[in-house]
Amino acid sequence: MYINVPAKLATKPAVILAQTKYNTLSEQYGFITIFPSTTNDFNCWDVASAKSLIHEGGGDTQGLSNMVKYTIQKYGADTSKIFVTGTSSGGMMTNVLAATYPDLYAAGSAYSGVAAGCLAGSPGASPISADPTCANGNVRKTQEEWVAQVKAMYPEWTGSYPRMQTWHGTADNLVFYPNLAEQIKEWSGIYGVTFSKNNTNTPQSAYTQIVYGDGTKLVAYSAQGVGHTVPVHETVDLAWFGIQ
């Protein structure tokens, strides 16, 4: 793993587990960024196996979370400011980490990913190895089924789950657009919130912000005409994380 620790580190800094470009903003705001990578399955994270879809199961979810725990201990990070974000495979992992380690992460921002558990049982998680049903947008479940799947990833957990922000392009032809609706279904069920409103041209032209509840637990972004992947909106993510 690669850790970026800014020259001017904040007291009890925030930590972002990311697969995106945060170094410049890290220097500005004083947070630590962890940039993990994997050489397995065509450089894609394991979001399919039983060991990765359970808390402390020994899979990639545990390995990534151990990186975060190490960083917290080494740098005295603020445990209430631990965040995760990623794109494509990283977006999938963001959802899975929110489900398997809700005790560790405060919020997530997932780009062009799938719901936690969508790839469960697939022989792999990359475009080469995976059962394509999930990526093609054909894994459809009821809200109750998605909620049960999330809760099964950490059966002992009775606390709250990380706040979630999720992004998807309508023209995505690799991880198809219906996966946005399944993510929304999953997390709105976890939080017990319902649709409130759409804000068009937010945060930019052709994007629609989809707000659930009061907008503090779940917000989605639909990017009209955007393919795979939605460009990362770092400043929007940082605002979601409360880093400003």
Q: What is the pLDDT of residues 112-130, one digit of tens each?
A: 999 999 999 999 988 889 9
Residues 6 or more apart whose Cβ sits within 8 Å of residue 231 = none
Domain ranges of the chain: 2-241
pLDDT at 20: 64
Residues with catalytic function: 88
Q: In what order do the strands lie in the sheet with 195-200?
A: 2-4, 32-35, 15-18, 82-87, 107-111, 163-169, 218-223, 207-212, 195-200
Query: What number of H helices and E strands is found in the chain?
Result: 7, 9
The more confident residue out of 200 and 8 is 200
CB 221 within 8 A of CB 179: no
Q: State how far the Cα of 47 lies from the Cα of 118, in Å rounded to an integer.
A: 9
Q: Dump pLDDT digits (tens) for 151-193.
A: 999 999 999 999 999 999 999 999 999 999 999 999 999 999 9
Which amino acid is present at 47? V
Sign, CA dihedral 41-46-50-51, equals: positive
Measured from the Cβ of residue 2, the count of other Cβ atoms closer than 10 Å reads: 8
Residue tagged 């409103």 (tokens) = 197
Say which CATH class 2-241 falls into: alpha beta
Q: What is the mean pLDDT of the chain?
A: 96
- pLDDT of res. 15: 96
Smallest Cα–Cα separation from 89: which of 22, 145, 36? 36
Between CA 16 and CA 182 the distance in angstroms is 25
At residue 11 the predicted structure's pLDDT band, cuts being 50, 70 and 90, is: very high
How do beta strands 218-223 and 207-212 pair?
Answer: antiparallel
Structure tokens that stand for 234 in this block: 């770092």
**By the 8 A CB rule, do 84 and 240 touch?**
no
Mean pLDDT over 200-212 rounds to 99
The pLDDT of residue 127 is: 86
CA 44 to chain centre: 14
- Which range has the worst mean pLDDT, 13-22, 106-115, 134-143? 13-22
pTM over 0.75: yes
**Cα 11 to Cα 42, 51, 75, 119, distances in angstroms:** 38, 35, 9, 39
Q: What is the rounded distance in angstroms from the CA atom of residue 188 to the CA atom of residue 9?
A: 35
